[in-house]
Amino acid sequence: MRLTCKLLHLMPAYVLVFLSVCLAAPGPQTLTRRAGLLWAFGAIRTSSNPPKIEPVSTQMVLSSGDKLKIMIEITKTCFVYVIHKDTQGNLTLLFPYSIKQFDTDYQTARKYYAPKADGWFQLDNTTGKETFYLIASDQRLLDIEYTYQQYTSSLRSEKQNLAEQMISKLDRITQTHLNSSDGVMPEDEHYAMRGFERATGADPMDVTQLAREISFDAIYSETFTIDHR
């Protein structure tokens, strides 16, 4: 009988401990991404009347004379690369403007445009597939940087091989990390190179209106293929 009374006496203490543990246990945690940016990629078709800007999708048909512009704003520290592959397989780094920019002029909460300022890229008469690689990483992709620097400084006879190496690396990243983010579309969403020529003058269209937020861990990748006709 004495043992039974002891157990009954201790039971409230056990219950109190159990409730304390339950209350202290963490509930569902909100996932906080370590890196992020605002991204806008817009096009203006020469055939549209009146002219209007529209978001560039991952698969899109555009015509010679149509215009393109990119806006990037770093919201949480990350390293963004935008690389263009033209119809002949030639590569151009659209952003950063040079690899050195990461060490000299690369800030959060600042808008960067490609091309800079009020300029737009304009599709010329060289038709075919135009591919744009967007890759963002919480760390610098030194292998990509090194390969691209090799490509730009190489002899013409070596460029094709280095371009293929570069594209292979980009495709590998894309296949592994494609759309690995919490990208959000806007609410109303329903350098001289082959294929481009610099548009003269400024358009009244603001590409930032198309900006969507991309947040991610490690690496984010997205590829845009334009059927340039």
Confidence of residue 17 (pLDDT cuts 50, 70, 90): very low
- In the predicted structure, residue 26 carries a pLDDT above the cut 60: no
Burial 104-127 (b: 16+ CB within 10 A, else e): eeeeeeeebbbbeeebbbbbeebe
Break the chain into its structural domains and give their ranges: 36-228
The pLDDT value recorded for residue 224 is 96
Burial class (CB in 10 A: 0-12, 13-18, 19+), 180: middle
Identify the weakest region by mean pLDDT among 25-34, 47-56, 64-73, 102-111: 25-34
pLDDT digits (tens, 9 = 90+) for 104-137: 999 999 999 999 988 999 999 999 999 999 999 9
Rounded CA separation 195/198 (Å): 10
* Residue 156: strand, helix, or coil: helix
pLDDT digits (tens, 9 = 90+) for 145-184: 999 999 999 999 999 999 999 999 998 888 887 655 444 4
pLDDT digits (tens, 9 = 90+) for 53-68: 999 999 999 999 999 9
Checking 150-155 for CB contacts under 8 A at 24+ apart, the result is: 151/91
Is this model's pTM higher than 0.85 or not? Answer: no
Q: Which two tokens stand for residue 21?
A: 């543990």
Average pLDDT, the chain: 81
Confidence of residue 91 (pLDDT cuts 50, 70, 90): very high
